[in-house]
Amino acid sequence: MSSAAHIALCVLLAAAAAASPARADEPRLRDPMQPFKAVAGAAGPGGAAAPRFRLTAVLISPTRRVAIVNGAPRQEGERVAGATLTRIEPQAVHLEQGAESWTIHLGHAGDGGPSEGASAK
């Protein structure tokens, strides 16, 4: 096969693959660089109260740990909605207020009590 024919065949195969529709049973991939669009427990059309804590991102590097809690960057020891951020992990943060403590998981929300994505200790 000539070089031009080989290139033409590759172009046709690539175009056919790009034009084929995605299978319905395949899960849609989420861009990991985009923030979560919906958070479990967030206020909905029914007018439910917004969650007290919301974790949308975590950055852990050799020199620092930062979590985006309630839309703002926070570091360990800082206060969030009256609670102290005690620990940042790759998929969760831990908060304490008095005798109460919570674990808020990435992409979930917590109202200061046990719920999906948040667990009281």
pLDDT classification of 20: cutoffs 50, 70, 90: low
State the burial class of residue 58 (Cβ atoms within 10 Å of its Cβ: 0-12, 13-18, 19+).
middle
Q: Is the pLDDT of residue 26 over 60?
A: yes
Compute the distance between CA of residue 32 and CA of residue 104 in angstroms, rounded to an integer.
Answer: 19
Name the more confident of 97 and 39.
97
Report the predicted TM-score, pTM, of the whole model to 2 decimal places: 0.54
| Domains of the chain as residue ranges with CATH | 53-120 (2.30.30)
Q: Which two tokens stand for residue 70?
A: 């309630």
Distance of alpha carbon 100 from alpha carbon 83, whole angstroms: 9
List pLDDT tens digits, range 64-86: 999 999 889 999 999 999 999 99
How far CA 59 is from CA of 30, 40, 70, in Å, comes to: 18, 21, 15
